[in-house]
Amino acid sequence: MRSQKENIPPEQKDEIVSQPLLITIPEVAKCLQLGRTKVYELIWREHLPVQKFGRAVRVSLVELQRWLESVMNFMGNEPL
């Protein structure tokens, strides 16, 4: 019996490995083209979901995308 990993085409395996599950606040800022302070403001005021590991704060790429979609649907194109 083949495992599910064996069913993934080789080009997708590279894509899965190359994308981290969690990113740092500076990486979020770069993705959103915002400053680090603005990202922390989004966490505190707009409830951008984060994972905390002691003092380390990380953001899930999946949750970031979901959050962005929900904010855009709720607010339209108004600024945050």
Please report, for the chain, the start and end positions of each structural domain, with discontinuous segments joined by +: 24-80
pLDDT on residue 5? 54
Query: And the tokens for 62?
Result: 């999946």
pLDDT on residue 75? 72
Query: And the tokens for 18?
Result: 């190359």
Kindly report the average pLDDT of the chain as a whole number. Answer: 85
Summarize pLDDT for 47-77 with one digit per residue, the tens. 999 999 999 999 999 999 999 999 888 877 6
User: Is residue 1 scored above 60 in pLDDT?
Assistant: no
Q: Does domain 24-80 have CATH number 2.30.29?
A: no
- Start-to-end CA distance of the chain, whole Å, equals 50
- pTM of this prediction? 0.69
Task: Return d(Cα 35, Cα 49) in angstroms, integer.
Answer: 17
